[in-house]
Each structure stands twice: as C-alpha cells, then as structure tokens.
Amino acid sequence: MELLFDQQHTVKVQLPAKEGNFSIRELLPWIRDKLLRERPELFMQGDTVRPGVLVLINDVDWELEGELEYQIAEGDRITFISTLHGG
C-alpha cells in the first residue's frame, strides 16, 4: 500500500498483521503515530482527518468509498492532499 503526502512523498507500508482487514479508521492513528514526524494536529482531528485534508482511495474521493469504514485491501493506494495552505 502506498501513502502520498502532499503529492511529494510516497511511502509503501506494511501494516501489522491482524485478523481481518484494516479500516481507514484504524489506519489514520497508525500513520499519525508511526509515519508523521511533526505537527500531527495538522493531519488528524478527533478520530478523522482534519477538515481540509482530502483523502483519495485508489484515486477515488473517499466520500464515495465509505470514508472511515473503508476496508483496506492489499495494494491499495491512499492519497492525502492538504488544502490548508498555499494558493
């Protein structure tokens, strides 16, 4: 699975083994704790992404894919685009 941050970094990650699939709800805090080095508050707010961060699952708007409940499959590409800065 690949993660994109600001279209600049692509990270392939191996999620820890567990029974059943990971949902986006479980993925977000995992990313925050394992991958983000600074200012995690710019990424998450409560149990979801901070408003203004767009999430795409295999290039599809996550609003069409069940948002937090989406079950991640092997090879999925999850993209995060922050809109909170820079015109």
Q: Is residue 66 involved in binding another protein (CB under 8 A)? A: yes
Rounded CA separation 27/79 (Å): 12
Number of shown-chain residues binding another protein (CB under 8 A): 24
User: Out of 33, 38, 47, 59, which residue is the one contacting another protein (CB under 8 A)?
Assistant: 59
> Both ends of the chain: CA-CA distance in Å?
29
Stretch that binds another protein, among 10-18, 27-35, 56-64 (CB under 8 A): 56-64
Query: What is residue 86's DSSP assignment?
Result: -
Identify whether the C-beta of residue 83 lies closer than 8 Å to the C-beta of residue 6. Answer: no
Q: Is residue 54 involved in binding another protein (CB under 8 A)? A: yes
Q: Is residue 7 involved in binding another protein (CB under 8 A)? A: yes
